[in-house]
Chains A and B, each alone.
Chain A
Amino acid sequence: MTAVAAKPAAGSAMNPTAMVIGVVMLIILLGIAYVVSPGLGLMALIGVVIGGVLIGFGVHFVPVGGAPAAMGQAPGIATGVAMLAAGAGLAGLFGGAWAADQGFVIAVITGGVGGGMMMAITCMMVNFVYVFGMGIPAASGKVAKDPITGDTQPEFKSQGTEGHGLPFVSFVGGVTGGILGGAGGTLIYLELLSLYQATLPTVLNASATQVLPIAVATAGIFAIGMFLVNAVLTAYNITGTIEGPHDPKFKRWPRAIVASAVASALCGLVAILIVTI
């Protein structure tokens, strides 16, 4: 059996003990934040955890086929999960950071729309290359009918492959993943930015205007770092490839949510401790 034909066997089951340990770790990390910085720090950490969970959940929607997709052997986008999710999420973070001075809600939505736009353009161009460059129609390998359009899939799969291209449900999944990732990344950035803007003038003994570039750069670097942490964690959860929300692997998302929450809390705590200790 090749790697393409292999079905996900282990890993789909939830491990209750691990989930409970994860939740306990999350509570401990939040408790440390409460002790160190009960007001701003704790609020920032909660925002970071929510942002991380949004990223972790969003990555499950992104249709990634990896190496087999590059040979038209499997559906999805021919690149890595973490790579593509990071590309979309960071494009969203770029837009969200630009809109940061227009208010929290507008910035988060702008970030989400930026990530969704990047994925919409990329997914459309993937199908463009498959159809007009290679003469291959889209076909899913995991479902007989597209859950959204109802198009039948198996008869469009070419011989000896698991499917190819991006069926409409995968396109919608990609855009949804981009929106969630962009919004999550922007949320992390905004929470850390407000924390740094409030604390850095005291830490560095400088005016608010002087510390602004440092606050923006530090919050941006931490947001990118946490984005990559959550994207890579999710890539492990789905073992490298996924077709989108209709893929059976999508059902593994609760496990990734707990893992993302714990990882984001730990990384977020480090980001908070650098200005509160």
Chain B
Amino acid sequence: MEQIVFGIGITALAGALATVAGSAEDTESNIGSQGDPNSQVQLAPQMGFVHRIFNKAVAGEPPAYGLWCALGAGLAWAFLAMQINAVLAIVLGSLLAVFVQGVYATTAYLGRTASLSKFGQPVYVDILKSMTTVAMAHAFVAIFCTVTICYLINVALGHPFPLPLLGFIWGITLGAAGSATGNPYYGKERQYQNQKFGAGVPISASGNIVRYAEAGERNSLDNGFFTSKFGGPASGLCFGLIVFLELWRTVVFDKLSPGWGAIIVGILIILIFTIVDRYIEVWARKNYGPYTAPVKEAAP
């Protein structure tokens, strides 16, 4: 019993850390335009819309976070083997991983933006200076939280995988959850803020991203500020739910008819989310649209 209560505490802590990690990951990727909306940032100058948006998308979010979290976890593991205090080891590992992220962000921005020189897109050194550090700070929060989750899973909950492997697995899952949830909000709602609310961006508007702010030109810090109000927390909620529910069903129900308890609870969780999803879909159909009159089927 005591072990289960301890496990629930670790699960709750891991879930909370995952929520923070997901939120920071999405904000970081939006500041760096690393998700799928980078295609529009890259396309805009080719359509004649020169901008001051940061773009470091030379890898998708999941493999990038897989690398950084595996690096942070691997280095933390090495420091732990040197008998360094666990908290310090995780901080140092994450810090070194963030330097790699910083090098990646700098070279990616220079490379991607320089390739647009024929379309008149300048490389802004002030953008490089101000955006890279902010992206690194958010990346540190995301990597530190993820490596801490992996450490808790490995040491406190006894998962058999070594720390670097857990870092890779949860880094990829973090990137997948963050990009799936956060990308549409940044891509549609922020980059195309000038388009109608409640509708997708018409294909003909591709590349015409919003480039001006309340004062002066818009930059990626404005984008991070905007998406951190909805897209970031939603991504955090997504990753937090994944980590919390995955650990919770195993820690609490694994001992019930060994193994099958966790499986049955997992299936129930899937069914609950299916019902919630269907409710959201039906709610939207009732409250929004239809955009055009329903097409009547031709008489036979």
Write the A220-238 contact mask toward B (1 if CB under 8 angstroms, else 0).
Answer: 1100100000000000000
B140 interfacial contact with A, CB 8 Å: no
- CB-CB < 8 A to A160: which residues of B? 200-205
B62 interfacial contact with A, CB 8 Å: yes
- CB-CB < 8 A to B63: which residues of A? 83
Let me know if A124 and B176 touch, CB within 8 A: no
Write the A199-234 contact mask toward B (1 if CB under 8 angstroms, else 0).
Answer: 000000000000001001100110010000000000
Looking at A40-48, A50-58, A125-133, A246-254, the stretch in contact with chain B turns out to be: A125-133
* Interface size class, chain B: 35 or more
B160 interfacial contact with A, CB 8 Å: yes
A261 CB to closest chain B CB (Å) equals 24
Let me know if A106 and B238 touch, CB within 8 A: no
Let me know if A69 and B184 touch, CB within 8 A: yes
A-contacting residues, B261-278, CB 8 Å: 262-263, 266-267, 269-270, 273-274, 276-278
Once A71-B200, A72-B199, A124-B273 are accepted as A-B contacts, the answer to whether A79 and B284 lie under 8 Å apart by CB is no
B-contacting residues, A69-91, CB 8 Å: 69-73, 77-80, 83-84, 86-88, 90-91
- The complex places the Cα of A217 from the Cα of B205 at a distance, in Å, of 49
A95 CB to closest chain B CB (Å) equals 6
- CB-CB < 8 A to B280: which residues of A? 124, 127-128, 131-132
Once A125-B180, A129-B181, A224-B169 are accepted as A-B contacts, the answer to whether A70 and B188 lie under 8 Å apart by CB is yes
Let me know if B206 and A66 touch, CB within 8 A: no
B145 interfacial contact with A, CB 8 Å: no
B37 interfacial contact with A, CB 8 Å: yes
- CB-CB < 8 A to A84: which residues of B? 62, 176, 180
Most buried by A among B37, B159, B183, B196: B183
Let me know if A71 and B40 touch, CB within 8 A: yes
B250 interfacial contact with A, CB 8 Å: yes
Let me know if B199 and A70 touch, CB within 8 A: no
Let me know if A87 and B173 touch, CB within 8 A: yes
- CB-CB < 8 A to A155: which residues of B? 289-295
Looking at B6-14, B127-135, B241-249, the stretch in contact with chain A turns out to be: B241-249
**CB-nearest residue of chain B to A149:** B278
**CB-nearest residue of chain A to B64:** A83
Number of interface residues of A (CB under 8 A): 87
Instruction: Please classify the interface of chain B as helix (H, G, I), strand (E, B), loop, or mixed, using the class held by over half of its residues.
Output: helix
Write the B102-139 contact mask toward A (1 if CB under 8 angstroms, else 0).
Answer: 00000000000000000000000000000000000000
Once A118-B173, A122-B238 are accepted as A-B contacts, the answer to whether A73 and B165 lie under 8 Å apart by CB is no
- CB-CB < 8 A to B250: which residues of A? 95, 98-99
- CB-CB < 8 A to B172: which residues of A? 83, 86-87, 90
Let me know if A133 and B173 touch, CB within 8 A: no
- CB-CB < 8 A to A123: which residues of B? 273, 277
- CB-CB < 8 A to A17: which residues of B? none
- CB-CB < 8 A to B293: which residues of A? 155
Most buried by A among B168, B172, B235: B172
- Select which of B181, B246, B270 is within 8 A of A126 by beta carbon: B181
Once A71-B187, A71-B201, A91-B169 are accepted as A-B contacts, the answer to whether A159 and B291 lie under 8 Å apart by CB is yes
- The complex places the Cα of A170 from the Cα of B278 at a distance, in Å, of 11
- CB-CB < 8 A to B202: which residues of A? 73, 158-161
B-contacting residues, A136-170, CB 8 Å: 136-138, 144, 149, 151-152, 154-168
Give the top 5 A-B pairs by smallest Cβ distance, nearest first. A87-B176, A160-B202, A72-B200, A70-B187, A158-B199
Given contacts A122-B180, A138-B285, 8 further A-B contacts (CB under 8 A): A117-B273, A121-B241, A131-B288, A133-B231, A137-B285, A154-B295, A160-B200, A217-B165
Task: Give residues in B with beta carbon < 8 Å to A.
Answer: 35-40, 60-63, 159-162, 165-166, 168-170, 172-173, 175-177, 179-189, 191-192, 196-206, 230-231, 234-235, 237-238, 241-242, 245-246, 249-250, 254, 258-260, 262-263, 266-267, 269-270, 273-274, 276-278, 280-281, 283-285, 288-295
